């Protein structure tokens, strides 16, 4: 790397490959080459190899057997796969609305000028997003403990304040009805701050003039939120939604540590299912087939959502 300057001005015209230009910009190719080399090894090759594996039976050790479309047929009758996708959906429905609403509220409040101690509040809500999931899940399994957990204790205490509800201790982690709720609570706790920060960035991008104009027109706080903030925050909101949907599908640590998909398979989401298929059962062929199929469906769906997103934001 001892070339001191790039000679300028002697561009040789021509429509064929311009070797002179390639040589002139050799540093460009050199500098971007690590990405392409690593991508070829750890991206492109795996992508093609796993496509190939989708049509095979393989445990990772013995010989690879061609299986044709067997794996795809197997998927249709794989109850656990459909169960895990269903669980993914339920967990998503349980946590995404409260999380996004809470994140929006926090962002809205933290964005107001009169609030003091902003960075303190922001830190409190945001801290969960930077902490190792495994530790947090372990703490939550303590908190959720049905016999001696803090959460059930607080719930029973509430009976003194709100006697009409008759709260009973809830089997958070060891009952099929509640295991998904527990995962959802953990996820809300973990990801609300993250979404809050994204929405805060979105709010701060809204020009203050808009609010002043709304105020001049006699809009009250609610009206300016409804007619200024809400429409302008739509893209951020949809983006958070998309991230959360994908996150739920491929979520792993949360479920793996807190419930390990149980009791039974009641909280097994797709991410955990795929992991178990790959690294517990070592069904590499079938797992590749499932991963590929779901990824393609998801890709199609997000393309659809994105298009909707763009059409709507153009209309606004």
Partner 1 sequence: MNKAQKPNVMALRLATYIMLTLLAVVFVFPFYWLFTASFKTQAQIFVTPPHWIPSHLMWSNYTDLFQQTNILRAFFNSVVTSAGSVLLSLFLCSLGGFAFAKYPLAPGNNRMFAFVLGTMLIPGAVTLIPTFEILVHIHWINTYWALIVPGAVGAFGIFWMRQYMGANLPDDLLAAARIDGCSEFGIYWRIAVPIAQPALAALGIMNLIGSWNNLMWAFIVLRTPSMYTLPLVIYLMQGEMSTPWGMLMAGGVFTVLPLVIAFLLFQKQFVAGITAGAVKQ
Name residues contacting partner 1, limited to 77-136 (CB under 8 A). Answer: 102, 106, 109, 114-115, 119-136
Distance (Å, rounded) from C-alpha 192 to C-alpha 99?
Answer: 5
x/- contact string, 159-198, with partner 1 (CB under 8 A)? ------------------------------x--xxx--xx
Distance (Å, rounded) from C-alpha 38 to C-alpha 292?
Answer: 21
Q: How far is the CB of 159 from partner 1 (least distance, A)?
A: 14
Distance (Å, rounded) from C-alpha 98 to C-alpha 188?
Answer: 7
User: Is 250 within 8 Å of 291 (Cβ atoms)?
Assistant: no
Q: Is 66 helix (H, G, I), strand (E, B) or coil?
A: strand
x/- contact string, 193-222, with partner 1 (CB under 8 A)? xx--xx--x---------------------
Q: Does 278 bind partner 1 (CB under 8 A)?
A: yes
Q: How far is the CB of 79 from partner 1 (least distance, A)?
A: 20
Contacts to partner 1 from residues 229-248, by CB under 8 A? 239, 243, 246
Distance (Å, rounded) from C-alpha 130 to C-alpha 133?
Answer: 9
Q: Is 57 helix (H, G, I), strand (E, B) or coil?
A: strand
Which structure tokens are listed for 102?
């809470």
For β-strands 65-66 and 56-57, DSSP reports them as antiparallel
Q: Which stretch binds partner 1 (CB under 8 A): 71-79, 89-97, 209-217, 280-288?
A: 280-288
User: Is 149 within 8 Å of 142 (Cβ atoms)?
Assistant: yes
Q: Which stretch binds partner 1 (CB under 8 A): 3-11, 170-178, 210-218, 261-269?
A: 3-11
Given 14, 28, 307, 312, the residue binding partner 1 (CB under 8 A): 28
Contacts to partner 1 from residues 34-63, by CB under 8 A? 34-36, 38-39, 41-43, 45-47, 49-50, 53, 60
Rg (the chain; Cα; Å): 26
Given 71, 84, 88, 145, the residue binding partner 1 (CB under 8 A): 145
> CB-wise, 177 or 316, nearer to partner 1?
316
Q: How far is the CB of 245 from partner 1 (least distance, A)?
A: 13
| 300 φ/ψ angles, rounded to the nearest 5 degrees | -60, -45
> CB-wise, 135 or 213, nearer to partner 1?
135
Q: Which stretch binds partner 1 (CB under 8 A): 18-26, 69-77, 93-101, 261-269?
A: 18-26
Q: How far is the CB of 103 from partner 1 (least distance, A)?
A: 12
Name the region of 262 (left: φ>0; alpha: ψ -120 to 50; beta: rest). Answer: beta
Contacts to partner 1 from residues 285-304, by CB under 8 A? 287-288, 291-292, 294-295, 298-299
Q: Which residues contact 212 (CB under 8 A, 6 or more apart)?
A: none
Alpha-helix runs per DSSP H in the chain:
19-24, 26-39, 45-53, 70-76, 79-110, 118-126, 133-143, 150-161, 179-204, 208-216, 221-224, 230-250, 253-258, 270-279, 284-315
> CB-wise, 78 or 253, nearer to partner 1?
253
Q: Tell me the number of residues near partner 1 by CB under 8 A.
A: 93
> CB-wise, 177 or 296, nearer to partner 1?
296
């Amino acid at each position: 790397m001892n070339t001191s300057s790039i000679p300028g001005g002697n561009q040789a015209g021509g429509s064929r490959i311009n070797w002179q230009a390639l040589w002139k910009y050799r540093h460009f190719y050199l500098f971007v080459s690590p990405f392409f080399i690593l991508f070829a090894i750890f991206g492109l090759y795996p992508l093609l190899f796993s496509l190939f594996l989708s049509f095979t039976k393989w445990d990772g050790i013995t010989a690879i057997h061609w299986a044709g479309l067997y794996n795809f047929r197997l998927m249709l009758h794989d109850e656990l796969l459909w169960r895990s996708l269903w669980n993914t959906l339920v967990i998503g429905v349980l946590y995404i609305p409260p999380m996004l609403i809470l994140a929006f509220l926090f962002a809205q409040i933290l964005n107001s000028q009169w609030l003091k101690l902003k960075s303190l509040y922001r830190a409190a809500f945001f801290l969960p997003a930077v902490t190792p999931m495994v530790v947090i899940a372990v703490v939550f399994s303590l908190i959720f403990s049905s016999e001696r957990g803090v959460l059930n204790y607080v719930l029973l205490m509430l009976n003194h304040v709100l006697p009409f509800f008759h709260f009973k201790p809830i089997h958070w982690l060891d009952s099929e009805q509640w295991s998904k709720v527990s995962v959802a609570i953990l996820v809300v706790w973990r990801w609300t701050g993250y979404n809050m920060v994204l929405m805060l960035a979105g709010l701060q991008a809204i020009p203050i003039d808009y609010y002043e104009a709304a105020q001049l027109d006699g809009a009250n706080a609610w009206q300016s939120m409804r007619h200024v903030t809400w429409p302008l925050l739509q893209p951020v909101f949809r983006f958070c939604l998309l991230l959360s949907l994908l996150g739920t599908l491929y979520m792993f640590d949360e479920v793996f540590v807190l419930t390990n998909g149980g009791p039974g398979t009641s909280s097994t989401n797709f991410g955990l299912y795929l992991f178990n298929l790959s690294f517990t059962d070592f069904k590499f062929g079938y797992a590749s087939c499932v991963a590929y199929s779901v990824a393609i469906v998801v890709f199609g769906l997000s393309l659809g959502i994105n298009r909707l997103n763009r059409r709507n934001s153009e209309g606004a």
